[in-house]
């Protein structure tokens, strides 16, 4: 965890030191669909997760955005006895920093923009199970960290297709996430 915290602080410092004024203040909104593949011990009990997220970006410079994200994600239990069902679902509320590497920002080099993204926040989750005359629900709020890499592919004068892969760590309930969405620049 110390290495992840150090990595987050380094990205924030580098981002703040590299700010330029030309794109400052631009805002965009986006929405995407998520597929979450559980890893580690989380994969022993839970199947593939699905959901959707909405994201807001505020540009500090051509290379740096601050972000906010909210969504809904759900996983179904697996390897359960006959007649028993279980789900883990929740609402992630995340803030982050998105960094576009300097060499790939210029539109003359490539219209596709690659980025690294680090998000921190909370997952307001619940586990529910039912079967054999019994229903159980437990709610819990967990710290969440989400490092990711992705790209934005221009799609229209003010939009882009946003594709990313991320490691979604919800207090030891980890998944590899794939997200595809659309981002619209607000003017």
User: Which carries the bigger pLDDT value, residue 114 or residue 23?
Assistant: 114
What are the C-alpha distances in Å from 102 to residues 63, 77, 91, 141? 7, 43, 33, 37
Rounded Cα distance between 178 and 140, Å, is 24
Q: Which CATH number fits domain 2-186: 2.40.160.20, 3.40.190.10, 3.10.520.10, 3.30.750.24?
A: 2.40.160.20
Q: What is the pTM of this model?
A: 0.80
- What is the predicted pLDDT for the residue at 21? 38
User: Which carries the bigger pLDDT value, residue 49 or residue 3?
Assistant: 49
What integer is the mean pLDDT of 74-103?
A: 90
| pLDDT tens-place string over residues 67-77 | 999 999 999 98
User: Which carries the bigger pLDDT value, residue 122 or residue 13?
Assistant: 122
Boundaries of every domain in the chain: 2-186
């Amino acid at each position: 965890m110390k290495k992840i915290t150090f990595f987050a602080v380094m990205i924030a410092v580098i981002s703040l030191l590299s700010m330029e004024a030309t794109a400052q203040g631009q805002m965009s909104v986006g929405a995407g669909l998520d597929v979450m593949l559980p890893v580690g011990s989380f994969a022993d009990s839970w199947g593939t997760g699905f959901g959707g997220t909405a994201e807001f970006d505020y540009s500090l410079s051509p290379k740096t955005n601050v972000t906010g994200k909210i969504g809904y994600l759900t996983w179904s239990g697996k390897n359960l006895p006959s007649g028993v069902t279980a789900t883990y679902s929740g609402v992630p509320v995340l803030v982050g920093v998105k960094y576009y590497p300097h060499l790939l920002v210029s539109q003359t080099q490539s219209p596709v923009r690659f980025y690294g993204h680090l998000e921190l926040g909370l997952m307001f989750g619940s586990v529910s199970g039912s079967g054999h005359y019994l229903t159980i629900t437990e709610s819990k709020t967990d710290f969440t960290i989400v490092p990711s890499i992705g790209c934005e592919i221009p799609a229209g004068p003010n939009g882009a297709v946003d594709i990313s892969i991320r490691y979604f760590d919800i207090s030891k309930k980890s998944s590899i996430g794939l997200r595809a969405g659309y981002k619209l620049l607000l003017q």
